[in-house]
Amino acid sequence: MERNAAKELKHRASRRATLMDEIKEKQDELKDLKAEDKADGYNEKALAAVIKSLRNGVQWHADQLAFELEVDTYRNACGLTTDAEVADQKAREAREKLPDDEDGNTARH
């Protein structure tokens, strides 16, 4: 009986090790794909958000869009823009107002 238990344990350990190796290979493939996407000019954060939406389904995506609409409502109420071009312009204007340091460089945060 002990011989069968040892054999079973060895089999289970082997299956796990094989699975762990396969997972590592898939992780390496994913890392390579991400690097390829980045090299081709894709924004990894944006692509990951789209993939998350695809994986989570239509209802999750609808809920997420409703949430983002509510966040935009709060932003507007606080005087924050929801237009990317306007936000970029305001950021440029804010940088121009920053004082220069002793070397003549504009301070940045």
In 3D space, the residue among 40, 60, 35, 39 whose CA is nearest the CA of residue 50 turns out to be 60
User: What are the angstrom distances between the C-alpha of 35 and each of 25, 28, 40, 46?
Assistant: 15, 11, 9, 14
In 3D space, the residue among 27, 25, 23, 3 whose CA is nearest the CA of residue 15 turns out to be 23
- pLDDT value at residue 100: 74
State the Cα–Cα distance between residues 69 and 93, nearest whole angstrom: 27
The model's pTM: 0.63
Each residue of 18-62: pLDDT tens digit?
A: 999 999 999 999 999 999 999 999 999 999 999 999 999 999 999
Mean pLDDT of 66-85: 94
- H or E segment and range at residue 4: helix 2-39
In the chain, the N- to C-terminal Cα span, in Å, equals 68
- pLDDT value at residue 36: 97
In 3D space, the residue among 109, 77, 65 whose CA is nearest the CA of residue 91 turns out to be 109
